[in-house]
Structure 1
Amino acid sequence: MNNLKALFLATTPLILLNGCGSESSGSAPVSKYNLQFVSLRVLDEDEVNSNCEIYGREEIYDTSDDSSSDDSSSDEPDSVNVVVAQKSTGALLTAFIQDSTGKVTETYTSASSSNWSSDGELTLVASDVPTNGYVTVTRKLPGSTTTYALTLQKSFLQTNMTINTVLSEVTAQTCVTGSSESTVYERTGSIDQDGDGFGIFGFSTLEGIYQGFSGQSIDMKSPSSTFLATRHVRESDDSAGEIKGYRFITLGQVSEDSAIELKNADSDDMIGDISWIAPQDLSLSAKAEINVYKSGTGALHWQYLPQTGTGTYGYASAVGGGNYYVSTEGTYNQWTVNETQAISSPANGLDLSTALSAKTLPAVATSELVSCSTSEVGICLQTYSDLGASLTAQRTYVSVSNGSGLEIKQVIYSSPQALLPMFSFDDSDLDNLWSNSLSVSEVSLLMGTSSSEVKDIFTRQFFDSFAVAENTFDNGNKFTDSLSVATPLGDQKDNQNFLKRTNYLQLQYHETK
């Protein structure tokens, strides 16, 4: 173990995607794009230097029959696996600059390009990328007939980006360092039951929701930021999940022996039994959820809402009328839908019965490769009809095989294009693949926002560190990039939280032929 710890000594940290503006984000135009290639690796957390940037974490519990012991009731995991990154040469990669039709204008390899450094950083001159053009990175392993590709239109490119490649290309046995994760503290706290113990008591933190049927001795985890102590449901006829008490607190106030007194519904600044009408046009696959925004902290879980019919929720004026957000997830007209929207008048009720059908949305179309004049290879991919919808960004995944083993699996981030031009690679074998039928296609559409931050999050949303590190992204995983914009775990958490407190709508559709 000591040898492994020494293996991952700290090295110079990389500047990652978060916080780096694209040309469309309102900042000054960039002059260069720096693409740092890394390989991802799964290790036991005990074997990793504390300075290593973490890209994923997974707690492992031994559930075998012979794993029982005196402390088998403990909630502690048997081990924790983490994903770390190492700089990679990118020797198995090729990078292309392509124009808006997919025509290759520049080609780069680590062996032949002077702007591709020995430790795997490729520097591109921004002006070399045409307006509405693209940068594509492809990977083909020795002996393989499959080419993986990641394509980013110019408006999606960042000054500094980290892109994963393969483990065999590491330049040194050292980890990429960083500190994007906040320290998480474990505490046991109690909540005043106010004379009766009926209900669900708990804490809502940036780390999770921790609840029990008693206000006594609730275990929780939180970074050192403000969070919520809550009580949900107080009477047997209360709407399922309705919040009945709350208080914003800090870690210093959490104690097992000193119960936290809550502000209760229909007293203090809080009122309850506010009307909720669930969507009738959206089949919810997960509960609708209200989150509240706390300045300096982020979005915190407030309460769940009934998936069908009607229900009620609680409102506290001290939270601020503009700080309530509702998130829903479900299916509508073949789309998988994820939406967050601010509640405009939370004290007056919330009716989402026909909110989605009132919007102008694109329509799912049968995915197919069709002839077109806007592509260098004469082929475009059609996955939807836009019908005049106001769209912000698009992710497209396309998999095509010639039936003899040769195939391409490409992810494309672009402006919304119902007919998306397919790409040339100056390789007749690959270019001719587009004349074959589709194997798999996916489309993800972002709308309901003009936020450059949401658009940047969209580019990183399909990164699965374990799927990449363990090479399992082809094992039935949907909406998972193989070549990905690698994003540290702390940034992933921040991104997920941001989407709970900003207006956006995302539509997704997957089709296997």
Structure 2
Amino acid sequence: MNKLTPLAVLTSTLIAGCGGGGGGGSAPAPTYSLEFASFYIEKASSSNASCSVYSEEIFYKEPDPNKPDEEPVVDYKNVVLATKVISPSVRVAIHDSNGRFVKEFVPGAAEWKNGKLSFKQSEIPSNGYLTTYQLLQRNNIVFLDAVSYQKSFLDSSMIFTTPPATLPEDKSCVTTGVKPPKFTERKQTFDDRGEPTGVFGFNSPDENYWSVSPLNAEFEIANKPLLAVRYDRHQDDTLDNINESESETRYRALREYRFITSANLGTKPLELKEIGDSTSDDTPQWVPPQDSTLTNAKLFVKYSGYSYLWQTLPVVSEQFSYASSIGGSNYYLQTEGVFSNWGFNKVARVPSLSNGIDESTTLSGLNIPPYSPLSLSACGTSTSEVGTCLRTYQQPDTGNAKIQRNFVNVDDNAGGQIRHTIYSKPTDFLGMFSFNNNVVDGIWSDQLVNAKVSLLYTSDSKVIDTLLESHRNPMAIAQDTYNDDTNVDSFGFLVTDYEASSADSLLSTQDYLLLNNTLK
């Protein structure tokens, strides 16, 4: 099965722009309500079947050397679950727009009751930040792990995950959150029109299932339509490798297609539509970017509100398949690569496929800020309370980016470390934060071990939500192996594995441009 992961990156429980000031009249002042949950790992069983799952890992039995062609047999599965934490070992701070420490709440404070922290939204200054963090300190050696969210990206009610915690034996799991539907294993034979050569299969919003034979192609179906497809077959395609992830990255001419539901399946061979059945169908020309280094290009189509892989495109000019019955406004081009030292992920609806797709100079025509290596440098206290700023790019953004994710990992070479993610409005020079601790604040002038800045352009609030929630690795957090990963937020938003994968899938048909700059 080919897992769809358009972004390493990246479902929606946040509504961007909900933070605000106090209300008028006799209405109560709006508040923020925060809860915390910690991950833990258990072997999947009937006793935890009702729990929400945030990640899973499958373990297989040792293969029988006498049966080399036998399919792997599942031995057991580990799942990452979550439990609400009543007395979390975390702190919540308020910072102003320049990273100045305003105040903090610690468990036991009057605002913190039964594991829930509530306070007035007006306590966060305009353009200020909410920061959740954990501080471990022994003498002059500290480790600080923090995530900060600028006020405009907050919702009134939020559940944050925490770094690894010591949990009681009698913990109860979280059961809320969207769970995956029940998938049914099926087999279907295709009508091959008398020519059995090709790749036959079904593309779904969740997985792609391919076969090199039209007979009894195996797949899984739930409650979503499927896109039945027939692609050209490469000489080295086999039943064993066709569902490996590398197979999906290769260009294949799409010959036939059809959207179906379970009602269309059965013992009768499935008939598909040929590209060319309609006089409006075509095989236009694809022209890849000439102003950037392209690593991946795919066409997706939107159908019934879901995203489906239509065709992988090559990094060189080639023809692609256009079916008029899909609708000219339902095709989306996803590209990934490097442009002027920026890594980029871009999805855009293709306005007119009849004339082909020409991406030769698309990125050059956009207002993208000049790249700069990520670095920490001294700056005035009017920009940063601690006098240290992160240079993110050379000049201010003029392209109307909506949000910026900034990750820094700073080491003092003596065991002290700051690991901090900051979600901010776009800025080319970001002030680092004070934590009202001389040892912590003194580390900012030391070595920048690794860092990453992501700049998002979009008019779709759901894409912003996905960026805020996609930097997750529950398994790594539960195992405490996430520290050096620039893509993981320790205090992220609690979303199930299925919610996250569904949001990632939808990104394939949502317009956005994401720029990435990484220091490793």
Matches within 5 A, 1:457-472: 457-472=466-481
Cα offset, 1:402, TM superposition: 2.1
Q: Deviations over 1:330-373 (max 9, x none)?
A: 12222221111101102321111221222221222122222133
Residue of structure 2 in register with 1:440 after alignment = 450
Deviations 1:376-415 (A, max 9, x none): 2222111212453331110001112222212111000010
Is 1:101–1:374's contact at 8 Å kept on the other side of the alignment? yes
Q: Would the aligned equivalents of 2:452 and 2:516 in 1 still touch at CA under 8 Å?
A: yes
* Offset of residue 214 of structure 1: 1.5
Contact 2:459 2:511 (C-alpha < 8 Å) held by counterparts: no
Q: Secondary structure at the match of 2:414?
A: coil
CA gap 1:157/1:172 in 2 versus in 1, 3 angstroms: farther
Count how many residue pairs are aligned between Structure 1 and Structure 2: 483
Could you tell me which runs of 5 or more consecutive residues in structure 2 were left unpaired when the two chains were aligned. 1-10, 24-28, 236-249
C-alpha change, 1:208 and 1:133, in structure 2 (3 Å) is same
Counterpart residue identity of residue 342, structure 1: R
Which residue pairs with 1:484 in the alignment?
Answer: 492
Question: Which residue, out of 500, 508, 513, partners 2:508?
Answer: 500
Q: What TM-score does the superposition give when structure 2 sets the normalisation length?
A: 0.87
- Residues 146/209 of structure 1: CA separation in 2 closer, same or farther (3 Å cut): same
2:110 counterpart residue number? 114
Give the aligned partner of residue 450 of structure 1.
459
| Residue deviations 1:159-189 (CA, integer Å, cap 9, x gap) | 2222112331459511000251231222112
**How much does 1:50 deviate?**
2.2
> Which stretch of structure 1 is more off in the superposition, 131-140 or 272-281?
272-281
- Conserved 8 A contact 1:138-1:148: yes
How far did 1:137 drift? 0.9
The superposition leaves residues 17-73 of structure 1 with CA deviations (integer Å, 9 ceiling, x where unpaired) of 8344343599x99922222111111222225522211111233334x5x65576972
- Residue segments in structure 1 that go unaligned for 5+ positions in a row: 1-16
Matched, 1:123 2:118: yes
Residue correspondence of structure 1 range 111-190 to structure 2 within 5 A: 111=108, 113-118=109-114, 120-141=115-136, 145-165=142-162, 166-169=164-167, 173-183=171-181, 184-190=183-189
Q: Which one scores higher on RCO, CA 8 angstroms, separation ≥ 6?
A: 2
- 1:346 is aligned, of 342, 345, 353, to 353
Q: Calculate percent identity across the aligned residue pairs.
A: 30
CA-atom RMSD in angstroms: 2.5
Query: Which amino acid in the other structure matches residue 515 of structure 2?
Result: L
CA distance in 2, matches of 1:25, 1:214: 55
CA contact (8 A) 1:401 1:407 kept: yes
- The answer on 1:400 being equivalent to 2:410 is yes
Structure 1 122/222 Cα, relative in aligned 2: closer, same or farther at 3 Å?
Answer: farther
Contact kept, 8 Å, 1:186 with 1:220, in 2: the verdict is yes
Cα offset, 1:443, TM superposition: 0.5
**Matching residue of 2:428:** 418
In structure 2, how many angstroms separate the alpha carbons of the residues matched to 1:469 and 1:234? 42
CA distance in 2, matches of 1:25, 1:190: 54
Kindly provide the amino acid, as one letter, of the partner of residue 76 in structure 2: S
Change (3 A) 1:408 1:213: same
Cα distance in structure 1, aligned partners of 2:112 and 2:459: 34
Query: Which of 295, 298, 311 lines up with 1:289 in the alignment?
Result: 298
Contact 1:263 1:269 survives alignment (8 Å)? no
Does 2:253 align with 1:247? Answer: no
1:279-312 superposed Cα distances (whole Å, 9 cap, x missing partner): 22232233x111100124x0011111112x2111
2:57 aligned partner, one-letter code:
E
1:389 matched residue in structure 2: 399
SS of corresponding position for 2:103: strand
Counterpart position of 2:220 = 221
Amino acid at match of 1:401: D
Deviation at 1:509, TM superposition (A): 1.4
Please give the TM-score of this superposition, normalised by the length of structure 1: 0.88
Is 1:363 the counterpart of 2:357 in the alignment? no
In the alignment, the residues of structure 2 paired with residue 243 and residue 160 of structure 1 have an alpha-carbon distance, to the nearest angstrom, of 46
